[in-house]
Amino acid sequence: MHINSLFNAVDIHLAHTKLALRVADERRNKGGICYPGLRIR
């Protein structure tokens, strides 16, 4: 049970990361928006 919840947390984290990257790509395509921590050309 404990390991399962750990894997679920990792899956959720990866899903959020993929979502963040997709949003970053969309913003970059609209025209290089810079925001703290990431420089997007």
Average pLDDT, the chain: 76
- Amino acid 39: pLDDT: 56
39 domain-assigned: no
5 domain-assigned: yes
Number of domains in the chain: 1
Give the range of the structural domain holding residue 2, as residue numbers without chain letter.
1-26
Q: pLDDT tens digit string along 12-30?
A: 888 889 988 888 888 777 7
CA–CA dist 36, 39 (Å, integer): 8
40 domain-assigned: no
What three-state secondary structure class fits 38?
strand
Residue reference for tokens 């810079």: 34
17 domain-assigned: yes
With 60 as the cut, is the pLDDT of residue 8 above it? yes
Segment 3-15 mean pLDDT: 87
31 domain-assigned: no
Is residue 28 within 8 Å of residue 40, measured between CB atoms?
yes
Q: Give the global pTM.
A: 0.49
With 80 as the cut, is the pLDDT of residue 38 above it? no
20 domain-assigned: yes
Is residue 9 within 8 Å of residue 15, measured between CB atoms?
no
14 domain-assigned: yes
